[in-house]
């Protein structure tokens, strides 16, 4: 039970604090935009970036890939007929208090052939994991949610690669039609706490192999971040302001702009369907694993709003491999395709639908638990039950609602 009246004073304080911070961040963002406009992309800047990485190996800044930091690009080229693939995943985490120990991944996908007038092809791939090898790590600990998320991320990328290959076959191997293979979230793999574990490294190798598979069929993998919290460019600006001799670990980590996001930076800069310059994240996994495999991930920010009002800007981040950015015309086509697909939904339609297909509701989870319990009881003669704790909580919550 949440007694709201006990929070009234705190809510007032918090509201004032949020308002004060908005004012502060607005001033900081304006200052950062001035730095963005004044900073030249030259050897000195690249040397500072290298120095920042040397000083702090985990520094997640940005390396510019185009001639100016404050570029605003309106796309010219537009693809007439192309395929948009959207994939998203959902999961049921292992539940110690459930009747049976398992976890489930459900991958939803949609393939939309833009310009064809055809109904898209949709699919779901549910997969149950219940063996000891699935459920326990090398130290015999039950796998945690982060581990399951990693498996889901890998399954999403595998589905994207499979669908991209199938789609190129649909075009009989003709490389002319553009194929975009899109997932929700960043394109680099989230490494988390187990970044150095053997299993995670293995997952990463398989994930990057999927990117290769997509590249081989001439498709482009895309990571779409709808409300980015990243601050790679803001961190770059802080380092750009520092004299070369002052780029130390301590100085790199004491950014004046640490509370700012790139979204705040670009929201007053980009108009509808304008993109920023291209950048590559300097994060370690991108630098070491993705780049060394020829799959360095870069990104641009894009305003998907229809209105010219800066207050209504919807800044999103688009991740793609560097090899897909070598043709300006292809970047233009990608930009237009994403912008168009966001019309009406403020998010790529194919990802809205992939999410809808993938999502597993609480009711569906309960139905699956019941199905498993009945099936097991028919073999063993005993009905597996929720733990006493789970049942007690379920009953008390039922009465509370």
Partner 1 sequence: MNHADPVLGRVLRSSTTGYTFGFSQAHTQPPAFGALVKTAVGDSHVFGLVYDQRVMDDALVRQIVASSDSLSEERIQDMRMRRQTPIEISVLSIGYEQGGTIYQLLPPHPPDALQPIFACTPDESRRVLTSFQYFRTVLDNMECPSEELLVASIRHGAGCQPPGQAQPYLIGAGRELTRLLAHDHQRLDAILRRLADFFNATHSLPEVPYG
Sites of contact with partner 1 (CB under 8 A): 110, 112-114, 116-120, 122, 343-345, 349, 352-353, 356
Q: How far apart are CA 18 and CA 22, in angstroms?
A: 6
Which lies closer to partner 1 via its Cβ, residue 101 or residue 121?
121
Which lies closer to partner 1 via its Cβ, residue 204 or residue 354?
354
Least distance CB 142 / partner 1 (angstroms): 34
Over the range 131-143, which residues count as b (16 or more CB within 10 Å of their CB) and which as e?
eeebbeeeeeeeb
Query: Order of strands, edge to edge, in the sheet holding 297-303?
Result: 62-64, 279-281, 297-303, 315-321, 220-225, 178-184, 82-92, 103-114, 121-129
- Give the pair of three-digit tokens for residue 97: 């208090």
Which lies closer to partner 1 via its Cβ, residue 83 or residue 286?
83
Least distance CB 112 / partner 1 (angstroms): 5
User: How many angstroms from the chain centroid is the CA of residue 280?
Assistant: 15
Q: Are 320 and 214 in contact (CB under 8 A)?
A: no
Which lies closer to partner 1 via its Cβ, residue 110 or residue 313?
110
Least distance CB 51 / partner 1 (angstroms): 47
Least distance CB 341 / partner 1 (angstroms): 9
Strands 279-281 and 62-64: antiparallel
Which lies closer to partner 1 via its Cβ, residue 243 or residue 344?
344
Least distance CB 76 / partner 1 (angstroms): 21
Least distance CB 315 / partner 1 (angstroms): 19
Query: Among 360, 337, 361, which Cα is nearest to 350's?
Result: 337
Least distance CB 124 / partner 1 (angstroms): 11
- Give the pair of three-digit tokens for residue 147: 């581990």
Which lies closer to partner 1 via its Cβ, residue 27 or residue 309?
309
Over the range 155-164, which residues count as b (16 or more CB within 10 Å of their CB) and which as e?
bbbbbbbbbb
- Give the pair of three-digit tokens for residue 38: 């004044």
Least distance CB 166 / partner 1 (angstroms): 17
Which lies closer to partner 1 via its Cβ, residue 118 or residue 394?
118
Which lies closer to partner 1 via its Cβ, residue 62 or residue 354?
354
Q: How far apart are CA 64 and CA 43, in angstroms?
A: 11
């Amino acid at each position: 039970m949440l007694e709201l009246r006990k929070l009234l004073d705190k809510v007032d304080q918090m509201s004032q604090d949020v308002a004060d911070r908005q004012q502060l961040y607005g001033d900081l963002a304006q200052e950062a935009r001035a730095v963005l406009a004044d900073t030249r992309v030259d050897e000195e800047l690249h040397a500072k970036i290298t120095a920042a990485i040397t000083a702090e190996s985990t520094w997640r800044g940005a390396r510019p890939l185009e001639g100016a930091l404050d570029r605003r690009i309106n796309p010219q080229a537009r693809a007439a007929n192309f395929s948009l693939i959207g994939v998203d995943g959902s999961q049921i985490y292992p539940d110690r208090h459930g009747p049976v120990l398992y976890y489930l991944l459900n991958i939803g996908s949609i393939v939309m052939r833009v310009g064809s007038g055809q109904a898209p092809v949709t699919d779901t791939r549910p997969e149950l994991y219940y063996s000891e090898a699935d459920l326990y790590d090398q130290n015999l600990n039950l796998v945690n949610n982060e581990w399951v998320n990693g498996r889901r991320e890998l399954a999403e990328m595998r589905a994207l690669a499979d669908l991209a290959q199938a789609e190129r076959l649909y075009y009989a191997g003709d490389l002319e039609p553009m194929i975009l293979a899109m997932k929700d979230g960043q394109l680099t793999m989230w490494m988390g706490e187990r970044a150095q574990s053997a299993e995670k490294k293995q997952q990463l190798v398989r994930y990057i192999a999927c990117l290769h598979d997509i590249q081989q069929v001439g498709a482009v993998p895309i990571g779409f971040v709808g409300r980015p919290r990243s601050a790679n460019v803001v961190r770059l600006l802080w380092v750009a302001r520092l004299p070369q001799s002052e780029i130390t670990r301590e100085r790199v980590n004491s950014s004046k702009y640490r509370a700012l996001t790139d979204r705040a930076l670009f929201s007053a800069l980009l108009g509808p369907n304008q993109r920023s310059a291209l950048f590559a994240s300097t994060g370690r996994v991108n630098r070491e694993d993705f780049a060394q495999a020829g799959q360095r991930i870069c990104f641009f920010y894009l305003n998907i709003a229809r209105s010219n009002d800066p207050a209504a800007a919807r800044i999103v981040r688009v991740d793609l491999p560097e090899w897909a950015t070598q043709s300006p015309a292809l970047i233009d086509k990608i930009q237009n395709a994403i912008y168009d697909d966001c019309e009406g939904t403020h998010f790529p339609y194919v990802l809205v639908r992939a999410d809808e297909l993938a999502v597993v509701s609480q009711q569906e989870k309960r139905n699956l638990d019941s199905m498993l319990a009945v099936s097991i009881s028919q073999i063993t003669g005993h009905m597996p039950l929720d733990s006493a704790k789970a049942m007690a909580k379920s009953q008390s919550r039922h009465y509370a609602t």
